[in-house]
């Protein structure tokens, strides 16, 4: 007498031997995970690039569509408080937020981390803190960020300098292109530029002493001084691409 378990095992074995002809599988138009923002491709789900503690990382975070702009007084105050709180809580230094730029619907960060795991955990804690604070401000619930974060490991001093130029000049470039954004000051105060000491020009930001520092001092050689091999930044520099 054949038991139920043996009958099931026989069916599974027979199914595993069935020949499968050519079908619609594989790469084809429309296949794969659909983007969370219509019309905008999501972040690739391939394994991320290995990260060494000596390399800073440029991280980009997209907001869900339809949310208020981040470059407003109340929203920016919430973000800056979340950045500062993250710096004070990460006392072991396994993850550091060293620079940032706030755009209307996305964030750029330059971070340092001990390894890939420390980066993921540090960003997870930071993003949860930001999402809770913004949802409270907006009296809403739900996701705030649209997709996985995108990151690029910065492997040379020149790449670090280019990333700094991108963060500090991207808002002004968007403003010059008419993207519903203005930067009336010499520097973009919706970035960490007021706490940056690598400009050629002398910059004085009124009232900066009363603001809690929202970024950590860099620990890697490349972000601390290595990028200076290619010259200090000017407040007039703009990124070559946006």
Among 51, 125, 118, residue whose Cα is nearest residue 88: 125
Task: Give the pLDDT band of residue 198 (cuts 50, 70, 90).
Answer: very high
- What is the CATH number for 202? 3.30.70.1290
161 is a domain residue: yes
Q: Is the pLDDT of residue 217 over 50?
A: yes
Is 188 part of a structural domain of the chain?
Answer: yes
Q: Which residues face 79 on adjacent strands? A: none
Rounded Cα–Cα distance for residues 109 and 130 (Å): 13
List the domain range (segments joined by +) for residue 130. 57-230
pLDDT at 210 over 60: yes
Model confidence at 32: pLDDT above 80: no
**pLDDT, the chain, mean:** 83
- Among residues 163, 221, 219, the alpha carbon closest in space to that of 192 is found at 163
Which contiguous run of DSSP H or E holds residue 171? helix 157-176
Model pLDDT, residue 17? 53
pLDDT band at 31 (very low <50, low <70, confident <90, very high): low
Predicted TM-score of the model (pTM): 0.78
For residue 89, the surrounding DSSP H or E stretch is: helix 73-89
Does position 191 have pLDDT exceeding 80, yes or no? yes
pLDDT in tens, 218-242: 999 999 999 999 999 999 898 875 4
Q: Are 84 and 214 contacting, i.e. CB atoms less than 8 angstroms apart?
A: yes
Confidence of residue 20 (pLDDT cuts 50, 70, 90): very low
d(CA 103, CA 181): 8
> Is 206 among the domain residues?
yes
Q: Is residue 17, in this structure, part of any structural domain at all?
A: no
Residue 235 domain-assigned (yes or no): no
Average pLDDT over residues 64-93: 88
DSSP string covering 18-76:
------S-SS-TT-SPPPSBTTB-----SPPPP--TT--EEEEEEBPTTPPPSSSHHHH
Domain assignment present for 19:
no
Strand 150-153 versus strand 57-62 pairing type: antiparallel
Say which residue, 181 or 69, is predicted with more confidence.
Answer: 69
Tally of domains in the chain = 1
194 lies in some domain: yes
């Amino acid at each position: 007498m054949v038991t139920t378990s043996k009958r099931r095992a026989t069916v599974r074995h027979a199914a595993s031997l069935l020949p499968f002809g050519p079908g619609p599988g594989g790469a084809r138009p429309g296949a794969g995970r659909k983007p969370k923002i219509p019309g905008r491709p999501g972040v690739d789900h391939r394994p991320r690039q290995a990260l060494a503690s000596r390399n800073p990382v440029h991280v980009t975070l997209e907001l869900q569509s339809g949310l208020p702009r981040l470059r407003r007084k109340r929203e920016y105050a919430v973000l800056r408080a979340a950045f500062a709180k993250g710096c004070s809580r990460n006392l072991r230094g396994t993850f550091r937020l060293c620079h940032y730029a706030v755009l209307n619907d996305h964030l750029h960060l330059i971070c340092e981390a001990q390894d890939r795991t420390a980066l993921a955990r540090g960003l997870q804690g930071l993003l949860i803190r930001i999402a809770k604070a913004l949802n409270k401000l907006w009296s809403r619930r739900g996701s705030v960020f649209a997709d996985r974060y995108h990151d690029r490991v910065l492997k040379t001093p020149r790449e670090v300098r280019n990333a700094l130029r991108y963060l500090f000049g991207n808002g002004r470039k968007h403003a010059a292109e008419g993207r519903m954004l203005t930067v009336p000051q010499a520097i973009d105060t919706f970035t960490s530029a007021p706490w940056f000491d690598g400009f050629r020009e002398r910059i004085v930001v009124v009232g900066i002493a009363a603001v809690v520092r929202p970024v950590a001092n860099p620990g890697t050689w490349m972000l601390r001084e290595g990028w200076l091999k290619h010259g200090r930044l000017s407040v007039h520099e703009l990124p070559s691409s946006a």
